[in-house]
Amino acid sequence: MISSDRRAAEREAAEAITYRVAESERDKSAVIKGEFSSDTVFEVVGSEGGFTIRPARLDPPVHKVFPDDEPEADEASEGKRRFVALDGELVCGYVDTEYEPWNRRLTIADIEVAGPYRGRGIGRTLMSHAIGWARECGAGHVWLEVTNINAPAIRAYRRMGFTLCGLDTSLYSGTESEGETALYMSRFLD
């Protein structure tokens, strides 16, 4: 549980940052190197009724930097939207979304907060903007994918109301993330 003092401090830090829909080419093309450190992995355990995940300690902890595999600029789509967090003119975070009307799903394609800005509530605020956009689109739920070794993100998503809804043991085959499991999480909207 997060204390009210910590939430107040996060809100204050997040308020010093401005948020908006990406407007300029600089906003749209900003890339923050995805990375994290974790002393926990969420192991997938089969059970009679399906599967569950359980945390297991990593010794030593892992530090992962995602490879540079960002696709070239996609064609603009009505269902795609990027929200940016700005410290002055510096893009210090963003969330990329895509709405699919056929199943009323808003997908979080990517969410990044630059290292020095983490722990200040910026990711939570970006996610709030994405969820607001989902509601505007008429989405019934928000969906995302995360690797099972990114325990900090999994914990944050859980605090934001996301729950585990599936997994894929083959998604990362043939990549630098071989051996990791893709966990899918969703949050139903009111």
Tens-place pLDDT, residues 79-112: 899 999 999 989 999 999 999 999 999 999 999 9
Domain harbouring 120, CATH code: 3.40.630.30
- As a whole number, mean pLDDT of residues 111-133 equals 95
- What's the total number of domains in the chain? 1
Q: Give the C-alpha separation, 45 to 37, whole Å.
A: 23
CB 106 within 8 A of CB 98: yes
DSSP 37-90: EEEEEEEEEEETTEEEEEEEEEEEEEEEE--S-PPPPPPP-TTEEEEEEEETTE
- Identify which of 107, 165, 166 has the alpha carbon closest to the alpha carbon of residue 131: 107
* Residue-range definition of the domain harbouring residue 139: 4-188
pLDDT at 65 over 90: no
Q: Give the C-alpha separation, 158 to 160, whole Å.
A: 5
Q: Give the C-alpha separation, 44 to 91, whole Å.
A: 35
What percentage of the chain carries pLDDT values higher than 90?
A: 62
Partners of residue 183 on adjacent β-strands: 146, 167
